[in-house]
Structure formats: structure tokens, C-alpha cells
Structure 1
Amino acid sequence: MKFLVVDPLAGVQTFARQLLQSHGFAPEHILCCADTDTALAQGLAFKPQFIITDWFGKSTLSGLQLFQRLRDVQPTLQLSLLSFEVKPEHEFEAEALGAHFVLKKPFTADQLKTAVTRALNTLAKTSPDLHRELRDTMRSTRAAARPVLPARPPEPVIKPGDKVRYQGHVHVAQHVIHRQGETVVQLKGQPAFVPVTKLQPA
């Protein structure tokens, strides 16, 4: 089974790759891209069965449009979405396309693990073509018990524009970024990035 992960953040790509490998899927069956144009060009040849993509709402080619283009050549393609903004209309659009989940950013490794594992379990039960492969892969992985992502305490949910408390002062979060397995925040007027775990909502 082949997976396509499309997200502008390298940390999210790493999270997803490690998670899928922890389920027993081979590295060469996991393709990661940072933008939808690259994902479309490579995905048409790669022919994934499962795509995990950012919403890319401001891109010329959105995550939903990417999914629809790839589904034209891979009719059984499965969809899962990641987005900083999840409104009822987003959930409605995702549901209409049969998305397994819409995971709101920023999220923890455990939240992504839970969402992806649930999607794979559902797929193993409902898709006859993929049932045996998923069942056998996941069964052998459980037997091997090879955890890749360590359990981490929940991170506070901070969005751009939120007021946060850091070192006794109130700041405004300007950018929230996932990188190298952690979430960091750039505060307005501050050049350095601060780990989200050191911030508190103000």
C-alpha cells in the first residue's frame, strides 16, 4: 500500500513517515512532498492508495483538488486532511469526499497517531481490496511491537494571533511552526522561536 504525505512543514512529513513505518509500511511506499504541484506531478506516477494532505486553502491547487486529480487515475484513493483552520464548511467538504479525518493544527504526535491508526483500522474493515494487506501488515507490526513515536504530554494549542504568557510577560503569537518533531512559536517582535511547551495561554 502506498502513501502520499503533502505538507509544507518538514516536521509533519517526518511525523507521518515515522508513524506509517511504525505500522510496518516500507519507506519506499511513503512519498512526502511540501506542495501540491510537486505532489500532483509525482503522485500521478507513484499512484498512492492513501493521501494525507494539508488543506492548502490559499494554493492554486488545494489539497482537495489534488485529491480529486489523483483519484481520477486511482479511483480507490483514500483521503485524510490537516488544517490550521477547521470550520463546519471544511468538515462538510471533507465528509462529502469521504475523508477519514480532518485534524486541526497544531497537533501532537499522539493525536496524529490516533487519527491515522483509526483510519487504517477502518480501511482494513471496509475495503476488501486492501483488507488483507492492511490486516497482515498491522498484525505483524503489533507482534513486533516496534514503537517509533515516543509518548509526549499534550502541547497547548496556540494559534497565530493568540495572546500567550512567556517569562512573566504577555506576548502575541505571530507564527506557529512544526519542525523536527516539535511545535515552536515566534512571538511578535521577537526573532527567536519558543517551544510551545514553554508558553501558556494568557
Structure 2
Amino acid sequence: MSAVRFLVADSSPALQTFVKNLLVSYGFEAAWVHTSRDPQSALAAAKEQAPHFLLTDCFAKSALNAVALVQELKALNPDLRWALMSTQLHPELNDTARHQGAMFQLEKPFGVHDMQSAMGKALEQWGRDNHEVGRRMPGYRRPRMAPTAPLVPDTPTLKAGDLVDYQGTRDRVRYVIFRRVELLVQLDSTPGMLPATKLRKL
């Protein structure tokens, strides 16, 4: 079985774990998913691992930003596929990313299901050209993960509509988003965003 190598470049360890677990849930080997916390280490890892897919933060304040990193990696692998995550998805960056062939762009903070949907559709599209990807993606499907297995360790898996207990009070999940290093939840009857780890799913 041929390896399909992924590289996740983001400063958040939790987001790295989230994406890695998501890819594993689609049937890719954990050993095929490498992570880096900055673009320089991502470039160094890419020279050793030659990734097929890059999922990267914008790294707007770095001399080696996401676009420059993609250009460097495409010099190593012209068939590189990539996607962008950023808190700064302004129109100019959107246009640049599209021009550079980004398969999708997600604005942080984003929800768990936003990433699941975007990544699943990208893999399905990529699978039309790549046999090893395509055999895992016979048409878009949801990740093959147990419903109780969190994408981020020690974090309950929650979605809009779930009933939860918060400090002894029963409430319902309205929104779920992933921001920086944690999963945050907004409830119907409780103001503000709460860390998912403070909730117990009913």
C-alpha cells in the first residue's frame, strides 16, 4: 500500500491533533501525517517526507508565509495539494490562495463539522486523480470514527442540538467551534462560549 503523506503546519498542538485524528478516521495511517508548529520546520520536514497534501496556517507575520511555503513545496512536488486555515481570510488572501490552487480555505475559529466537510470534499475531489486516495473515498462520506471518540484528546465530541450538563444544569448545544487550542461551545441558556471540557454530554 502506497503512503499518502500529509503535513499539518500550525502553531496549535490541539489543532494538529484534531487534523491528524480526522485524517486517520478516513483510513490514512497516523505515520503518514506529520505536524510542524511553524513554516520553517514545515519546510524542513517536507524536504525529508515529501508530503502530498499540506494543511497550513497563514503565518502572516513570518517571512515564510503560507503562500511562500506552498511555492517552496511545489518546487519539491509539483502535484502538491494544499488547504489554508487563517484568522485573516481577507479577499486578497482568498484570491492568492485560489490562484495557488488551494483546495479549500477555512477561517478560524471554525467548527469541527466545517473541517470535516471541507476535508472530506477535498479528499473526494483529489481521489479522482489519486488512486490511493480514491480507494478510501468512494464518494464523499463522513469520517469512519466512533461517535464517542473525540478529535481532540480529553474533549467530548459535541454537535449542535446535543443535550449536556453544565454545573448541574441541563442545557442544549447551540454552536460548536474550534479556536486555537480548545473546542468551545455556546449553549442555549448560558451566555458566552464555554470550553467543551466543562460539559458532560447527556
Instruction: Give the TM-score band, short-chain normalised.
Output: 0.7 to 0.9
How many equivalent pairs are there? 163
1:163-178 correspondence to structure 2 within 5 Å:
177-178=179-180
TM-score (norm 2): 0.73
How far is 1:151 from its partner? 4.6
Q: What's the counterpart of residue 183 of structure 2?
A: 182
How far is 1:63 from its partner? 1.1
Look up the SS of the partner of 2:83 in the other structure.
strand
Q: What's the counterpart of residue 155 of structure 1?
A: 176
* 1:3–1:50 Cα contact (<8 Å) kept: yes
Distance across 2 between alignment mates of 1:42 and 1:123: 22
Look up the SS of the partner of 2:64 in the other structure.
coil
Residue 49 to residue 156, structure 1, CA distance change in 2 (3 Å): closer
Residue 29 to residue 196, structure 1, CA distance change in 2 (3 Å): same
Q: What's the counterpart of residue 171 of structure 2?
A: none
How far is 1:156 from its partner? 6.5
Look up the SS of the partner of 1:197 in the other structure.
strand
* Residue identity in the other structure for 2:159: R
* 2:26–2:144 Cα contact (<8 Å) kept: no
* 1:11–1:182 Cα contact (<8 Å) kept: no
Q: What's the counterpart of residue 198 of structure 2?
A: none
1:2-41 correspondence to structure 2 within 5 Å:
2-41=5-44
Distance across 1 between alignment mates of 2:193 and 2:73: 35
Higher helix share: 1
Unaligned 5+ segments in structure 2 are 152-156, 161-174, 186-191, 196-202
Q: What's the counterpart of residue 134 of structure 1?
A: 133
Deviations 1:78-124 (A, max 9, x none): 01000001111111001100101110000121111111101101111
Distance across 2 between alignment mates of 1:44 and 1:196: 40
Q: What's the counterpart of residue 72 of structure 2?
A: 69
Distance across 1 between alignment mates of 2:58 and 2:193: 23
Percent identity for Structure 1 against Structure 2: 30
Look up the SS of the partner of 1:138 in the other structure.
coil
Residue 156 to residue 52, structure 1, CA distance change in 2 (3 Å): closer
* Residue identity in the other structure for 1:146: M
Look up the SS of the partner of 2:7 in the other structure.
strand
Q: What's the counterpart of residue 58 of structure 1?
A: 61
Look up the SS of the partner of 2:44 in the other structure.
helix
* 1:106–1:183 Cα contact (<8 Å) kept: no
Residue 56 to residue 152, structure 1, CA distance change in 2 (3 Å): same
